[in-house]
Structure 1
Amino acid sequence: MTAAQVRRRFLWLLALRWLPVGLMIPVTVLLPLDRGLSLAQYGSAAALQGLTVLLLELPTGGLSDAIGRRPVLLLAGVIEIAALSLLTVADSVLLFMVCYLLQGVYRALDSGPLEAWYVDHALAADEHADIETGLSRSGAVLGVAIAAGALIAGGLVALGPFGPVAALSLPVYVALALQIVSLAAVALLMTERRPHRGVAALVGSVRGVPAAIGGALSLLRRSRIIAALVAVELFWSFGMVAYESLMPVRLAEVVGAPGRASALLGPVGSVAWLASALGAALIPLLARRIGAPWTGFVLRVLQGVTVAGMALFAGPAGVIAAYLVCYAVHGAANPVHSGLLHRQVDGPYRASLLSLNSMVGQPAGALGLVALTAVASAASLRVSMLVGAAALAIAAPLYLVARGDAAAPSSMTDVQDGVYARPARG
């Protein structure tokens, strides 16, 4: 395949992967609350997902590097289908905990293989392939897919119950059907050359997992840029709880009714992710002008300001406006962060590095869920969101560690068995 063909398949698979997520966004928090959980119970149960990822992220990233991206993504799809199936009937803290446990396994398996497959195959087809443009387009596709899903979810909730299925449960059933379609697409479109097959090959590949994990950890120890980028992910994921999980509750607070807030979140979420797509599409212009590290710095500060706006504005119009700007910044920040990260590694351990980045993100998000929902219960929702805003802004200076690095390094420092740390694009 050519680099352009690889990119097209990557974008199609990405769209199908995130469309079910868009369907779930308007009801992720409100559905457990509607089924009897308190906000603190939801936060504690959902935190299990992040803790599961903490335990499995690096082993599953190493598994992807060892046995291939496609088998790992197929396994991830099957587990997510099981999780969504359970979510259609979950009505207790225990069942929600099992659901989030399964989703943690899914997130750990799903984190990195598709993006690593794209970068590996694009560079194999053309060593000078512009992966940053592909990653930027992926941010736009992701935003449009989630926007479409959120819009559909809002419509489904607004239509009300369908027979015995409650209004807030309808998006879960549709997401389940789309996840099955996504699994089939991975099986058909994601080609991968695996010269060695069979049980012996599988055992040999699995034995390579510790080496892949060691390669990623070696990169973290020896590259100050990677250490800084991983630290950004930690603060980012903690603060993300404020606009992903607490914003629906904040909107319900200002409009006065959870049902009305859920119906609003459909179209609002759709527009937010379209804004995210627009941010991802336009950010290369800013990055080329001031450099990726300074771009990351500006975006992190701006996102902290928007989350503070959600906390402080008194009416729904102000909260929604701040939310939309926040997601435009979120969409712009993703390709900047990913591009800086990808430029730090060459060799067989790319997925392990992505998993390492995600490994700190998921438990940081879990900690954010527990901490910020506890602050909301003990103090107020506004105070909780302001804490999240501060966490986002604190991460901004860490991007400047990559400032001044050459865009096309003439030499690379070998850190372990073909894994290289190299300067990021500035």
Structure 2
Amino acid sequence: MLYPLYALLFADAGLSAGQISTLLILWSVAVSVLEVPTGVLADTLPRRALLAVAPLFSAAGFALWTLVPAYPAFAAGFVLWAVGLALASGTLQALVYDELAAAGATGAYARLIGRSRALGTAAIAASTALAAPVMAAGGYPAVGAGSVLAMLGAALAALAFPTARRTPGPEQDGEEAAPAAAGPWWRRHAAVLGAALGEARRSAAVRTGLVAMAVLMGATALDEFLPLLAASLAAGPAAVPLLLVPAAVLAAAGEWAAGRGVRRAAPVLAAAAALLAAGALIGHPVGMVLVGAAFGAFEWASVAAETRVQHAVAGPARATVLSVGGLGAEAVAVLAYAGYGLGSQAAGPGVLFALAAPVFLLIAPLLRTRTGSGRARRDRYWRR
């Protein structure tokens, strides 16, 4: 419940806009630095254990924010939160895919991941709404306590996952045969990282999937600025929350529909880019519906790109490969934030969102269905 309100918490503690910006930069840098190393950990250590530990770091960060509302504690809390996010990034996806592979049901991956993200989007909206009466009753300490309890609940939920059976690769036959299992830890980690980079080097499907995944996940970070776009189209401040509802609902709908119609991913993404530009430039509140539909399609396409990577990975470094995509997404997100910040000096939100549309248009060809006997098994997902 706490993190949607962090800007208010920091401002209430007397932080300036510049100090808040430095905290966000620290957070982004920390996630970027930790993304790949934690992916390597997920390919060498039990993933269920990592998923159980990850929320504890976030809980510690939220507790610091609540108990010591000062800049140093906020900075430390962001680093702890970054550790938790990085530990879970790629780890959950790899665990789910390997369990589905063991059950012969990898075709269900996109549907399961998409629906879990849709429920997560709905949960964030619900927790944000719930935070208002909780804060009115008990202030930030009550909201912070609720956030810490939620993270502890997430840790317990992670223990309910089965122990992932790693997908066998060329040098691996089950979890006990992890790459370079013997030798010092740094050699084992180097072997996993080398296997991940080898996947990208050998497989065009992995490379194009990672690029599409990074751009889609990173560029959709622009949704942080949707309130500014809504404010530019609303008749008054009271109407802004109402204009944001379609974006949230349609984003969740796109995630829920993941796994369907993937054969048409490229034209759908191109159409979504057009909707984004049209909705941003129309200069009317109805434009938020078009923008929301575009973001729903982007979320749907990002699951499709991630699923393509999952189907293409053949070796033992699945979580590390996914973390490389996560690192790329963080880099794209930073560029998106910087571009919006610089562009805002010369243009309004509508123009800036419209200028982002070509990025999605350019990435659409990477989601085209591939053919050819050599790729038939790897790309069977895309012929649905």
Q: Cα–Cα, structure 1 residues 282 and 125, in superposed 2: closer, same or farther, change >3 Å?
A: closer
Cα distance, 1:336–1:216 mapped onto 2, change above 3 Å: same
Q: Deviations over 1:54-84 (max 9, x none)?
A: 2221111111101121122223122111112
> What is the alpha-carbon root mean square deviation over aligned residues?
3.7
Once the two structures are superposed, residues 371-404 of structure 1 have per-residue CA deviations (whole angstroms, 9 ceiling, x without a partner) of: 433543x345x25x64455345324333424535
1:244-295 CA-to-partner distances (Å, cap 9, x unmatched) read x2223454665765xx689x37x955x644433322343544324x3x4444
1:78 to 2:50 alignment:
no
User: Structure 1 residues 183 and 367 mapped into 2: Cα distance closer, same or farther (>3 Å)?
Assistant: same
- 1:408: Cα distance to partner? 7.8
8 Å CA contact 1:278–1:331 kept in 2: the answer is no
1:247 is matched with which residue? 226
| Alignment match of 2:158 (pick from 164, 186, 205) | 186
2: distance between equivalents of 1:255 and 1:175? Answer: 34
Matches within 5 A, 1:262-281: 264=241, 268=244, 272-281=247-256
Helix, strand or coil for the counterpart of 2:316?
A: coil
SS at the partner of 1:191?
coil
| Closer/same/farther in 2, CA of residues 397 and 370 from structure 1, 3 Å limit | closer
Residue 142 (str. 1) matches residue 125 (str. 2)? no
1:284-327 deviations in whole A, cap 9, x for unaligned? 44324x3x444444445545555x35xx636xx44653553244
**Amino acid paired to 1:400:** P
Contact 1:137-1:280 within 8 A present in 2 as well:
no
Q: 1:348-385: CA deviations, max 9, x gaps?
A: 11111100000111233234334433543x345x25x6
Give the match's secondary structure for 1:346. Answer: coil
Distance in 1 (alpha carbons) for counterparts of 2:11 and 2:102: 48
Contact in 2 for aligned 1:35/1:91 (Cα 8 Å): yes
SS at match of 1:343: helix
- Aligned counterpart for 2:209 among listed residues 229, 243, 246: 229
Query: 2:371 aligned with 1:403, yes or no?
Result: no
CA distance in 1, matches of 2:183, 2:51: 19
Tell me if structure 1 keeps the 8 A contact 2:48–2:161. no
Match of 2:80 among 97, 102, 105: 102
Change beyond 3 A, Cα 1:355–1:423? farther
1:57–1:358 contact (8 Å) kept in structure 2: yes
Q: 3-state SS of the aligned residue for 1:373?
A: helix
The one-letter amino acid paired with 2:126 is L
Which residue among 364, 379, 385 is the counterpart of 2:332? 364
- With 106-115 and 351-360 compared, the bigger mean Cα shift is at 106-115
Which of 68-77 and 220-229 deviates more?
A: 220-229
Larger displacement relative to structure 2 (365-374 or 102-111): 365-374
The counterpart of 1:334, out of the listed 290, 299, 302, is 302
Question: For the residues of structure 2 that align with 1:144 and 1:24, how far apart are their CA atoms?
Answer: 18
Task: Map 1:31-110 onto structure 2 (within 5 A).
Answer: 31-89=9-67, 91-110=69-88
Distance 1:362 1:71, change over 3 A: same
Check 1:280–1:250 CA distance in 2 against 1; reply closer, same or farther (3 A cut).
closer
Q: How many residues get paired? A: 372
Is the CA contact 2:278–2:354 (under 8 Å) kept in the aligned structure 1?
yes
Structure 2: which amino acid aligns with 1:228? T
Rounded to whole Å, the distance in 2 between the matches of 1:337 and 1:399 is 11
Identity of aligned residues (%): 21
Deviation at 1:181, TM superposition (A): 0.5
TM-score (norm 1): 0.73
Higher deviation after alignment, 107-116 or 396-405? 396-405
Distance 1:76 1:360, change over 3 A: same
In terms of mean alpha carbon deviation, does 389-398 or 58-67 score higher? 389-398
Counterpart for residue 314 of structure 2: 346
**Which of 220, 225, 230 is matched with 2:200 structurally?**
220
